[in-house]
């Protein structure tokens, strides 16, 4: 993989390669699960503690072959009896049903060992299943040790086995390193058992795709596409609409309800849940996000958020962890929300940052508002009541509270609480300096335009422009704040 990350920890649609294998094995209900670790052992152990704490990691300090690895695993369960299942750690497409069928076939045949095989289009690099004239397993040959005839065989060893524990232990003690790689091959157990007159068997997988592993990032990408197609088909058959499956990526850990619609270029990751009739996409990424029934998320990114039933998000919104939208709330274009609750029917339509805030029901937040939550050391909270109307270009310097039904004027920096039903005005008084452009920017296009306008006013008999401007401003100062809040607020 040419990576600092061990191969089995590379991610694939919601789980690591190892996580997928453990998930396929889990329904067997094994008494013990042992994971042989080598390269990157500490990283693998840490991952196991998170995803499979009941699994036992066993260190293979020297990489002396698959037979050696299984012998080390069995030493960790000296009292283990019955059927032992061995699975490679890089077969993420393996289904639990296939592993279960292997065990059933093995036990019904009372075999000492059973190998899972598959017929593949191109067997290059894989061990071959060699059968005798009666179709029974004769031997499993690694490609490096195969002759020309054997290399032409397309039935391959999937690297997944079922063994009788007692007979496996005995055969492992007889393994040789007399092969091209100088390793203990687990596959040699089949030849040893057959020579001893023990029954060995082959179980053929119904779909060879399940047996595919990966040894580099190109092969990993191929597996990712195959798994994507499998997941998408399964969701569509349950009643979910995927408008462009080729550009829709859904983790195996995601849940979608019937009649959800997922548009193109959408990624649903982690523990994301999408409710019935919700519309997701196009161009959406949801990570560990809950979307309620009939909600809509368009061209947006959300992490650890909750979107209530019938709520709308986007386009171009960013919901960060603990962003919570109640029923029919709206977060619009170029809005970022973090650790905040937006009440039922409340609107934050555009160009706004909402951080560490509570916004009541049916409240409207004006455009270009900022909830100033950080003083450089601590985060503080803003509370906006229900049915409030805040003006455009407001800053709420937390901690601060705006009461129910209150208004704030456009352009205000709110640093003190605004009582319920009050109008909060926190902005400098406007002052017009008449003739400034003509005097200070003479010769510019702006000055020429201003002079033409002034000349036109003079020709029409308008006089006293400076005093008239000041008189109007003074007369409307009291209501200007209210007008600013209502006229320049946005929805």
- For 290-319, the pLDDT digits (tens) are 999 999 999 999 999 999 999 999 999 999
pTM here?
A: 0.90
- Which residues constitute the domain of residue 256? 240-337
Is the same domain home to 13 and 115?
Answer: yes
Q: Give yes or no: residues 200 and 247 share one domain.
A: no
Residues β-bridged to residue 164: 83
Task: Give the per-residue pLDDT at 180.
Answer: 78
Q: How confident is the model at residue 365 (pLDDT cuts 50, 70, 90)?
A: very high
Q: Are residues 436 and 467 in the same domain?
A: yes
Reply yes or no on whether the pLDDT at 284 is more than 50. yes
Among 317, 337, 357, residue at a domain's last position: 337
Residue 375 in any domain: the answer is yes
Tell me: do 19 and 124 sit in the same domain.
yes
Per-residue model confidence (pLDDT) at position 461: 66
Q: Could you give the CA distance from residue 379 to residue 194 in angstroms, rounded to a whole number?
A: 71
Contacts for 273 with CB less than 8 Å, ≥ 6 apart: 254, 255, 256, 289, 290, 291
Query: Is residue 230 in some structural domain?
Result: no
Each residue of 124-134: pLDDT tens digit? 989 999 999 99
Pair 289, 421 in one domain: no
Is 2 within the bounds of a domain?
no
pLDDT in the model for residue 477: 39
- 467-481 average pLDDT score: 39
Q: Which residues of 269-306 are buried (b: 16+ CB within 10 A; e: fewer)?
A: beebbbbebbbbbbbbbbbbbbbbbbbbbbbbbbbbbb
* Distance separating alpha carbons of residues 478 and 472, to the nearest angstrom: 11
pLDDT in tens, 174-193: 999 888 788 999 999 999 99
Query: Is the pLDDT score of 484 beyond 50?
Result: no
* pLDDT of 471 over the 60 cut: no
Query: How many structural domains is the chain composed of?
Result: 3
Residue 459: predicted pLDDT? 83
Cβ neighbors of 105 (< 8 A, separation 6 or more) are: 114, 162, 201, 203
pLDDT in tens, 422-441: 999 999 999 999 999 999 99
Both 359 and 326 in one domain: the answer is: no
Other beta carbons within 10 angstroms of residue 417's beta carbon come to 14
Considering the chain, what is the average pLDDT of its residues? Answer: 93
pLDDT value of position 491: 63
Q: Is 50 domain-assigned?
A: yes
Q: Could you tell me if 84 and 188 lie in one domain?
A: yes
Of the listed 47, 68, 208, 350, which one is catalytic?
Answer: 350
Residues 330 and 345 reside in one and the same domain: no
Domain finish residue from 337, 370, 398: 337
Q: Are residues 315 and 347 in the same domain?
A: no
Q: What is the pLDDT of residue 181?
A: 84
The string of pLDDT tens digits covering residues 78-134 is 999 999 999 999 999 999 999 999 999 999 999 999 999 999 999 998 999 999 999
- Quote the CA–CA distance of 86 and 239 in Å, as a whole number: 36
pLDDT at 412: 98
pLDDT of residue 462: 52
- pLDDT at position 184, please? 94
CA 188/CA 410 separation, integer angstroms: 80
Spatial distance between the Cα atoms of 92 and 310, rounded to a whole number of angstroms: 37
Is residue 311 a part of any domain in this protein? yes
Question: Are residues 190 and 282 both part of a single domain?
Answer: no
Residue 181 lies in a domain: yes
Give the separation between CA 258 and CA 454, rounded to whole angstroms: 66
**What is the longest distance spanned by two Cα atoms in the chain?**
119
Residue 160: inside a domain: yes
Task: Mark whether 89 and 99 lie in a shared domain.
Answer: yes
Distance CA 476, CA 471 (A): 9
Q: What is the pLDDT of residue 437?
A: 97
User: Is 146 within the bounds of a domain?
Assistant: yes
Residue 468 has pLDDT above 80, yes or no: no
Please check whether residues 364 and 296 belong to one and the same domain: no
Helix (H) or strand (E) holding 20: helix 17-25
Average pLDDT on 392-413 reads 98
The CATH number given to whatever domain includes residue 309 is 2.160.10.10
- Concerning whether 468 is annotated as a catalytic residue, the answer is no
């Amino acid at each position: 993989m040419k990576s600092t990350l061990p191969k089995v920890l590379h991610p694939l649609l919601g789980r690591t390669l190892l996580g997928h294998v453990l998930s396929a094995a889990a329904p067997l209900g094994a008494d013990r699960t042992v994971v042989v670790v080598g390269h990157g052992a500490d990283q693998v152990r840490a991952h196991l503690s998170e995803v499979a704490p009941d699994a036992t990691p066993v260190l293979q300090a020297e990489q002396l072959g698959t037979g050696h690895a299984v012998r080390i695993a069995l030493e960790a369960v000296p009292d283990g009896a019955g059927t032992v299942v061995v699975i490679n750690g890089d077969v993420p497409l393996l289904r639990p049903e296939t592993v279960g069928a292997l065990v059933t076939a093995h036990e019904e045949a009372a075999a000492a060992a059973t190998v899972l095989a598959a017929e593949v289009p191109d067997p290059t690099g894989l061990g071959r299943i060699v059968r005798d004239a009666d179709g029974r397993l004769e031997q499993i040959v690694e490609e490096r040790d195969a002759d020309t005839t054997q290399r032409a065989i397309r039935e391959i060893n999937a690297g997944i086995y079922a063994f009788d524990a007692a007979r496996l232990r005995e055969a492992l003690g007889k393994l040789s390193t007399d092969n091209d790689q100088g390793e203990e091959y687990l596959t040699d157990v089949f030849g040893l058992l057959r020579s001893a007159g023990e029954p060995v068997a082959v179980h053929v997988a119904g779909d060879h795709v399940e047996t595919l592993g990966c040894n580099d990032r190109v092969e990993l990408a191929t597996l990712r596409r195959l798994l994507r197609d499998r997941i998408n088909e399964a969701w569509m058959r349950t009643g979910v609409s995927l408008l462009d499956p080729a550009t829709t990526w859904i983790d195996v850990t995601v849940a979608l309800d019937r009649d959800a619609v997922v548009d193109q270029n959408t990624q649903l990751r982690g523990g994301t849940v999408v409710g019935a009739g919700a519309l997701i996409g196009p161009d959406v990424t949801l990570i560990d996000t809950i979307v309620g029934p009939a909600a809509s998320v368009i061209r947006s990114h959300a992490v650890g958020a909750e979107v209530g039933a019938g709520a709308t998000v986007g386009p171009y919104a960013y919901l960060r962890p603990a962003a919570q939208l109640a029923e029919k709330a709206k977060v619009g274009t170029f809005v970022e929300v973090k650790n905040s609750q937006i009440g039922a029917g409340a609107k934050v339509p555009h160009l706004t940052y909402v951080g560490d805030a509570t916004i009541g029901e049916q409240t409207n937040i004006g455009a270009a508002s900022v909830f100033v939550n950080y003083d450089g050391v601590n985060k503080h909270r803003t509370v906006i009541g229900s049915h409030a109307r805040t003006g455009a270009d407001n800053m709420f310097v937390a901690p601060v509270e705006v009461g129910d039904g209150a208004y704030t004027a456009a352009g205000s920096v709110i640093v003190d609480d605004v009582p319920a039903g009050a109008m909060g005005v926190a902005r400098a008084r406007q002052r017009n300096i008449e003739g400034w452009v003509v005097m200070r920017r003479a010769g510019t296009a702006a000055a020429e335009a201003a002079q033409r306008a002034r000349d036109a006013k003079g020709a029409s008999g308008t006089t006293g422009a400076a005093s008239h401007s000041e008189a109007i401003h003074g007369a409307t100062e009291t209501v200007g704040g209210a007008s600013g809040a209502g006229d320049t607020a946005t929805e």
